[in-house]
């Protein structure tokens, strides 16, 4: 209870008695004490009768109104609680400031934000300094009123009957291409309409093509089980599923995070992530970064800032079975609060975190927020605003790689329970631009897919973005590419010539045109050639640019792994300039590459260089794009065999 009855003992002598005839007040005091005893012992009805009797005897006895409000609050009779608070404030004027705060709380929870703000401002005028929670309520009232005046452009659409059903659907998660949707469905009846003994949570999956979203089907065993599964996320390439399982025999706590890997089209038996991600506490709601390096999740473990906090674990290795190994768990202190912070979603840009919180100023309940992890100047999360946030609980937001569309679940009037909705992201709430590149790697002789090493680097900083090992792929890949980077992409397999690509998103970018590649690897044979797409030279110069280092070191490794090979480095130019000038420039560029390889331990007799000028173009030279393709460095196998044993 709010302890009106306790407070009145102190308030009674100093205020109420002084305002009333002392003789008449003796019976009032006796009735009030008796009402207090009845209320505290659980006989609310009798206490209400006595308080109403007091008000008939002394209409100015304002604390009786607050006592009634206390009882109605405990009984969850909000209508009568509100009436009692209003009457108490009207009668008592400003003599019981807490009445303003309690009325503000009730009004705020009913989304009557303007009236809530008026009452909190009255309370702040009478009570100084206010407690932390009281200041938070005042801030939330102000935020909510302003949000109503300036709503965000937000128009949710139902995901359709292929996804939603008469049951509850929630927690949507998509792959990088946004053509595979995995969600949780809560079923209370079986396929024949018979009531289940206990509600059952399972994963369902829907796929999208040119005709739209297909009818969702169960993800099936071994992921779906007789136990409940929920709060899942799907990796960008759609091969790794992380989810929450509770009360399982191999669990470390009440709820743990599990993972399953898709291999040859089949999901593996789920595996508990184990320590240090899972503990004896509650761990749930995983969200995987697009590059797979960070795992975000919610937990109430010791060492946090609040009741529920968001944590992050770093990927340290990959097991031979293809499972990521996570460690170095840290608390996201800049995001977390003394309240509940949960439902994390890290966008593919690797910087924008969306989550739910009941602490930061908002519209009531749990609101959705965003936070820029790369911003040192951002001191608190940004509320995503109304009408995305309301007085109800909002959580489980997912934003597509493109940043154009968001997904969430809600219980709206037009729904048969909780349904999944999607909406176009307002411009101000969009994360950084991100695209993706997908492809397959095959043997040029057999056309069979090849499991291989796939490496993605930031060429400007010479840092590794992703290294996917052969046991992590089956010759197919998908990587997200945030803008603002110059990416070097290298695919290699022992016994084959490697392949390289360059994705320069430093200046130009179009999120509407993701890249699809079909990459053939040639077995190492005399005469075979490959293009070194990530070797760059200064304009009209043979000086190698620093961002070429990653590709050059890959060349060094290739030569060391194939010690019998003799190769030719060939330089090629576009048609700008004279033939002699380009022949000389291309030759010197090839010599610069050979020099680097020699300086890094490759024997000189194994290396030849030759300049071809513009004599062997790959395409026409009439466009800048064509000229860029023709400016290249190649290497060709002159003699020798693969070092593959």
DSSP secondary structure, 487-525, as one string: EEEEEE-TTB--EEEEEE-SS---TT--EEEEEEEPBS-
pLDDT of residue 167: 84
pLDDT of residue 20: 46
d(CA 521, CA 494) in angstroms, rounded, equals 11
d(CA 520, CA 503) in angstroms, rounded, equals 18
pLDDT reading at 6 higher than 60: no
Which among 208, 219, 570, 270 has a CA at the least distance from the CA of 400?
Answer: 208
Q: How buried is 108 (Cβ within 10 angstroms: 0-12 exposed, 13-18 middle, 19+ buried)?
A: buried
pLDDT of residue 509: 53
Is-contact 113 84, C-beta < 8 A? Answer: no
- 3-state class of 363 per DSSP? coil
For residues 14 and 185, the model is more confident at 185
Write out the H or E segment, with its range, that includes residue 24: helix 22-41
Average pLDDT over residues 425-440: 91
For residues 192 and 140, the model is more confident at 140
pLDDT of residue 144: 97
pLDDT reading at 9 higher than 70: no
From the CB of residue 321, how many other CB atoms can be counted at a distance below 10 Å? 11
Is-contact 356 367, C-beta < 8 A? Answer: yes
Residues contacting residue 255 through CB under 8 Å, at least 6 positions apart: 244, 245, 246, 247, 282, 283, 284
Q: How confident is the model over 66-80, as pLDDT tens digits?
A: 999 999 999 999 999
Domain with CATH 2.120.10.30 in the chain: 168-429
Residue 378 is given by DSSP the state -
- 3-state class of 386 per DSSP? coil
Structure tokens at 85: 């608070």
d(CA 413, CA 434) in angstroms, rounded, equals 35
Q: How confident is the model over 295-354, as pLDDT tens digits?
A: 999 999 999 998 999 999 999 988 887 789 999 999 999 999 999 999 999 999 999 999
How wide is the angle at C-alpha 378 spanned by C-alphas 372 and 381, nearest 5°? Answer: 70
pLDDT of residue 588: 97
Average pLDDT over residues 597-619: 95
pLDDT of residue 644: 45
Structure tokens at 503: 């994705």
CATH number of 168-429: 2.120.10.30
CATH number of 4-149: 1.25.40.10
Q: What is the DSSP string of 93-136?
A: TTS-THHHHHHHHHHHHTT-HHHHHHHHHHHHHHSSSPPHHHHH
pLDDT of residue 511: 53
Is-contact 397 371, C-beta < 8 A? Answer: no
pLDDT of residue 328: 92
Phi, psi of 123 (to 5 degrees): -65, -45
Q: How confident is the model over 208-266, as pLDDT tens digits?
A: 999 999 999 999 999 999 888 999 999 999 999 999 999 899 999 999 999 999 988 89
Q: How far is CA 577 from CA 544, 580, 614, 633, in A?
A: 20, 8, 10, 18
Average pLDDT over residues 6-19: 40
Residue whose token pair is 């000028």:
613
How wide is the angle at C-alpha 422 spanned by C-alphas 243 and 284, nearest 5°? Answer: 20
Q: How confident is the model over 520-548, as pLDDT tens digits?
A: 999 999 999 999 999 999 989 999 999 99
Average pLDDT over residues 46-74: 93
pLDDT reading at 474 higher than 70: yes
pLDDT of residue 428: 87
Q: How confident is the model over 360-370, as pLDDT tens digits?
A: 999 999 999 99
Q: How confident is the model over 447-469, as pLDDT tens digits?
A: 999 999 999 999 988 888 888 88
Average predicted confidence (pLDDT) for the chain: 90
d(CA 482, CA 480) in angstroms, rounded, equals 6
- 3-state class of 632 per DSSP? strand
Is-contact 458 447, C-beta < 8 A? Answer: no
Phi, psi of 232 (to 5 degrees): -105, 165
pLDDT > 90: percent of the chain: 72
pLDDT reading at 145 higher than 90: yes
Where does the pLDDT of residue 645 fall: very low under 50, low under 70, confident under 90, or very high at 90 and above? very low
d(CA 137, CA 35) in angstroms, rounded, equals 31
pLDDT of residue 414: 62
Most confident of 19-23, 169-173, 262-266: 169-173
Which among 142, 101, 150 has a CA at the least distance from the CA of 361?
Answer: 142
Q: How confident is the model over 128-144, as pLDDT tens digits?
A: 899 999 999 999 999 99
Q: Secondary structure of 566-625 in the HEC alphabet?
A: EEEEEEECCCCCCHHHHHHHHHHHHHHHHHHHHHCCCCHHHEEEEECCCCCCCCCCCCHH
pLDDT of residue 409: 86
- 3-state class of 139 per DSSP? helix
CATH number of 524-645: 3.30.1330.60
Structure tokens at 548: 């070429």
pLDDT of residue 195: 84
Average pLDDT over residues 98-112: 96
d(CA 410, CA 480) in angstroms, rounded, equals 29
pLDDT of residue 415: 62
pLDDT of residue 263: 87
Structure tokens at 248: 């399982």
Where does the pLDDT of residue 118 fall: very low under 50, low under 70, confident under 90, or very high at 90 and above? very high
Structure tokens at 637: 């196998």
pLDDT reading at 52 higher than 60: yes
pLDDT reading at 587 higher than 70: yes
d(CA 62, CA 81) in angstroms, rounded, equals 14
- 3-state class of 80 per DSSP? helix
pLDDT reading at 418 higher than 90: no
């Amino acid at each position: 209870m709010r302890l009106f009855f306790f407070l009145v003992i102190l308030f009674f002598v100093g205020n109420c008695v002084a305002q009333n005839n002392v003789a008449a007040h003796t019976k009032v005091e006796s009735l009030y004490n008796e009402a207090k005893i009845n209320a505290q012992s659980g006989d609310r009805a009798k206490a209400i009768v006595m308080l109403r009797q007091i008000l008939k005897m002394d209409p100015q006895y304002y604390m009786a109104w607050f006592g009634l409000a206390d009882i109605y609050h405990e009984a969850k009779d909000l209508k009568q609680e509100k009436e009692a608070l209003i009457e108490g404030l009207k009668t008592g004027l400003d003599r019981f400031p807490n009445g303003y705060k309690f009325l503000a709380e009730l009004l705020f929870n009913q989304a009557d934000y303007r009236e809530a703000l008026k009452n909190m401002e009255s309370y702040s005028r009478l009570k100084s300094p206010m407690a932390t929670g009281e200041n938070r309520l005042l801030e939330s009232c102000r935020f909510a009123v302003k949000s109503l005046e300036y709503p965000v452009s937000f128009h949710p659409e139902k995901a359709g009957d292929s996804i939603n059903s008469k049951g509850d659907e929630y927690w949507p998660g998509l792959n990088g291409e946004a053509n595979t949707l995995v969600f949780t469905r809560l079923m209370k009846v079986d396929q024949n309409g018979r009531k289940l003994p206990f509600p059952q949570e399972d994963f369902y999956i829907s796929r999208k093509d040119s005709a739209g979203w297909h009818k969702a089907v169960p993800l099936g065993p071994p992921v779906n089980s007789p136990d409940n599964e929920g709060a899942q996320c799907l990796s960008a390439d759609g091969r790794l599923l992380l989810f929450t399982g509770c009360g399982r025999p191999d669990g470390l706590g009440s709820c743990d995070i599990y993972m399953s890997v898709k291999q040859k089209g089949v999901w593996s038996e789920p595996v508990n992530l184990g320590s240090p991600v899972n503990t004896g506490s509650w761990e749930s709601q995983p969200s995987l970064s697009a590059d797979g390096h960070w795992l975000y999740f919610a937990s109430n473990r010791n060492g946090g800032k609040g009741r529920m906090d968001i944590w992050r674990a770093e990927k340290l290795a990959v097991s031979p079975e293809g499972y990521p190994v996570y460690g170095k768990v840290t608390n996201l202190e800049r995001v977390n609060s003394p309240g509940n912070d949960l439902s994390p979603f890290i966008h593919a840009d690797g910087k924008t975190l969306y989550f739910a919180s009941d602490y930061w100023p908002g519209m009531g309940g749990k609101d959705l927020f965003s936070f820029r992890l790369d911003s040192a100047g951002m001191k608190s999360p940004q509320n995503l605003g109304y009408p995305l946030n309301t007085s109800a609980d909002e959580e489980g937001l997912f934003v597509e790689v493109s940043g154009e569309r968001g997904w969430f679940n809600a219980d709206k009037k037009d729904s048969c329970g909780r349904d999944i909705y999607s909406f176009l992201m307002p411009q101000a709430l969009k994360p950084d631009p991100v695209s993706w590149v997908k492809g397959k790697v095959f043997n040029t002789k057999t056309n069979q897919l090849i499991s291989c090493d796939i490496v993605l680097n930031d060429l400007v900083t010479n840092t590794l973005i992703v290294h996917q090992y052969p046991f992590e792929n089956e010759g197919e890949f998908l990587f997200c590419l945030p803008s603002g980077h110059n990416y070097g992409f290298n695919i290699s397999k022992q016994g084959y010539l490697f392949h390289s690509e360059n994705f320069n998103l430093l200046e130009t970018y179009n999120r509407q045109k993701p890249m699809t590649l079909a990459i053939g690897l040639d077995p190492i044979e005399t005469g075979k050639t490959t293009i070194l797409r990530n070797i760059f030279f200064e304009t009209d110069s043979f000086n190698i640019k620093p961002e070429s280092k990653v590709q050059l070191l890959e060349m060094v490794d290739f030569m060391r792994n194939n010690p019998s090979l003799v190769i030719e480095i060939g330089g090629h130019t576009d048609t700008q300039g004279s033939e002699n000038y380009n022949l000389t420039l291309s030759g010197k560029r090839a010599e610069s590459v050979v020099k680097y390889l020699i300086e890094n331990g490759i024997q000189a007799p194994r290396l030849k260089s030759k300049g071809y000028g513009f004599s062997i173009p790959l395409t026409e030279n009439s466009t800048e794009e064509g000229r860029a393709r023709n400016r290249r460095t190649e290497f060709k196998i002159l003699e020798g065999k693969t070092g593959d044993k």
